[in-house]
């Protein structure tokens, strides 16, 4: 943790993550072909969120950086969630 | 006496700056996603039918292209840390080629729409109703803005490649490569959400 500058991620970690990401992509394509309704939207977005967590943590090194970066990212995501919530409350109950 | 001049460098600050820039990018695209979801919510049928016209195979191929290109640029950081300059250059070269392949696919995809007279402000689209106008307006704007980010990312990565070639970026000083990688991953991240929203959820 102290010398995160010198942290080297092995090549194969990236390849494992890539295999997982491609599998998830194909899964989400397959799922959206089968299911119908609002469940599809939820599942597709859940898979997208799951995929992005790997991109952020491994590819973008968040897992190995100072925690400040992760906290700042969480803050940004929370801001977005709050804005989405407020916007939809407005449209649903107007 | 130590006579070597000390060049001040702060990698952490450099990376922090990059992350803060990426946060503004996330909020920019986040705002567009909110616009998309509201319009979708108000025009469910039109969005459903319009999304059917997008090619899922091309979208899937482009997703995989971006995922692989993200992997190769991430691996190039490992290579540079291990002092494998040639491998790093090769991996970055693959990233650039894949980025170009993505744009070529996009060109054919947009070309198909334009051939069918579907573009923002087209009379054919206007006849199909408000929902289609909104869907394709957002589609062209969001994928276009994303493609613009791909182009910027490619230019950024090309500059980085020449710096690695000239040993300006090396095993001891590679924060610029990391930052260009971060930018490229962000572009990938945005596509991870654009793809299901426009192509899959029909």
The pLDDT of residue A2 is above 50: no
Q: How large a percentage of chain B has pLDDT more than 90?
A: 81
Per-residue pLDDT band at A1 (split at 50, 70, 90): very low
The pLDDT of residue B186 is above 80: yes
pLDDT of residue B52: 87
Question: Which of B173, B190, B201, B202 is most worth mutating to test chain A (most A CB atoms within 10 A of its CB)?
Answer: B201
The pLDDT of residue A37 is above 80: no
pLDDT tens for B54-73 read 999 999 999 999 999 999 99
Q: How is A51-81 classified by DSSP, letter by letter?
A: HHHHIIIIIT-GGGS-HHHHHHHHHHHHHHH
CA distance A70 to chain B (A): 10
Q: Which residues contact B137 (CB under 8 A, 6 or more apart)?
A: B120
Q: Among all residues of chain B, which has the CA nearest to that of A20?
A: B67
**Residue A94 domain-assigned (yes or no):** no
* CA–CA distance, A87 with B48 (Å, rounded to integer): 22
**Residue A88 domain-assigned (yes or no):** no
For chain B, where are the alpha helices, taking DSSP H only? 11-42, 44-51, 56-81, 85-115, 123-127, 130-165, 175-195
- Please give the average per-residue pLDDT across A14-23, as a whole number: 97
CA distance B167 to chain A (A): 19
Domain range for A58 is 4-66
Distance of CA B57 to the CA centre of its chain: 19
Domain count, chain A: 1
- Helix, strand and coil content of chain A, in percent to the nearest 5, comes to 85, 0, 15
Q: Which chain A residues contact residue B185 at CB under 8 A?
A: 55-56, 59-60
Per the CATH hierarchy, to which homologous superfamily does domain B19-200 belong?
Cytochrome c oxidase, subunit III, four-helix bundle (1.20.120.80)
Closest C-alpha among B136, B166, B147, B138 to residue B62:
B147
Q: Residue B11 — left, alpha, or beta (φ > 0 → left; ψ -120 to 50 → alpha)?
A: alpha
* CA–CA distance, B178 with B197 (Å, rounded to integer): 29
pLDDT tens for A40-82 read 888 899 999 999 999 999 999 999 999 999 999 999 999 999 9
**Residue A14 domain-assigned (yes or no):** yes
Q: Which chain A residues contact residue B31 at CB under 8 A?
A: 83
The pLDDT of residue B95 is above 90: yes
Q: How large a percentage of chain B has pLDDT more than 70?
A: 97
pLDDT tens for B120-179 read 988 988 899 899 999 999 999 999 999 999 999 999 999 999 999 999 999 999 999 999
pLDDT of residue B201: 78
The pLDDT of residue B5 is above 80: no
**Residue A85 domain-assigned (yes or no):** no
Q: How is B115-156 classified by DSSP, letter by letter?
A: HTT-STT-HHHHHT-HHHHHHHHHHHHHHHHHHHHHHHHHHH
Q: Which residues contact B114 (CB under 8 A, 6 or more apart)?
A: none
- Please give the average per-residue pLDDT across B175-190, as a whole number: 96
**Range among A42-46, A88-92, B9-13, B145-149 with highest mean pLDDT value:** B145-149
Delimit the domains of chain B by residue range: 19-200
Q: How far apart are the first and last CA of chain B?
A: 71
pLDDT of residue B176: 95
Per-residue pLDDT band at A94 (split at 50, 70, 90): confident
**Residue A76 domain-assigned (yes or no):** no
Q: Among all residues of chain A, which has the CA nearest to that of B191?
A: A48
Q: Which range, of A7-11, A12-16, A51-55, averages the lowest pLDDT?
A: A7-11
**Mean predicted lDDT score pLDDT of chain B:** 93
Contacts of A74-81 with C-beta under 8 Å, sequence gap 24+, read A76/B23, A76/B26, A76/B27, A79/B27, A80/B26, A80/B27, A80/B30, A80/B34
Interhelix angle B175-195/A38-54, nearest 10 degrees: 170
How would you label A43-64 residue by residue, b for 16+ Cβ within 10 Å and e otherwise?
bbbebbeebbebbbebbbbbee
């Amino acid at each position: 943790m102290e010398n995160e500058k010198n942290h080297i991620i092995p090549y194969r970690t990236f390849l494992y993550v890539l295999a997982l990401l491609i599998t998830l992509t194909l899964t989400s394509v397959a799922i959206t072909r089968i299911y119908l309704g609002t469940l599809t939207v939820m599942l597709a977005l859940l898979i997208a969120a799951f995929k992005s967590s790997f991109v952020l943590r491994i590819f973008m090194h968040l897992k190995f950086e100072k925690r400040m970066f992760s906290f700042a990212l969480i803050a940004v995501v929370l801001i977005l969630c709050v804005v989405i919530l407020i916007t939809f409350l407005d449209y649903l109950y107007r | 006496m130590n006579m070597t001049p000390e060049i001040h460098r702060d990698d952490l600050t450099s990376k922090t700056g990059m992350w803060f820039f990426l946060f503004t990018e996330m909020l920019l695209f986040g705002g567009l996603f909110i616009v998309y979801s509201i319009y979708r919510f108000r025009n469910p049928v039109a969005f459903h039918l319009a999304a059917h016209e997008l090619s899922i195979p091309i979208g899937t191929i482009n997703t995989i292209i971006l995922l692989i290109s993200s992997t190769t640029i991430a691996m190039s950081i490992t290579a540079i840390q291990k002092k494998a300059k040639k491998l790093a250059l090769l991996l970055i070269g693959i990233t650039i080629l894949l980025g170009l392949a993505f744009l070529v696919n996009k060109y054919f995809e947009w070309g198909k729409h334009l051939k069918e007279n579907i573009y923002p402000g087209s009379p054919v689209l206007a006849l199909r109703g408000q929902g289609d106008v909104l869907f394709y307006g957002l589609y062209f704007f969001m994928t276009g803005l994303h493609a613009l980010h791909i182009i910027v990312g490619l230019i950024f990565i090309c500059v980085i490649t020449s710096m690695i070639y000239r040993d300006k970026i090396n095993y001891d000083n590679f924060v610029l490569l990391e930052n260009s990688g971060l930018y490229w991953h962000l572009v990938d991240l945005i596509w991870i959400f654009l793809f299901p929203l426009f192509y899959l959820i029909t």
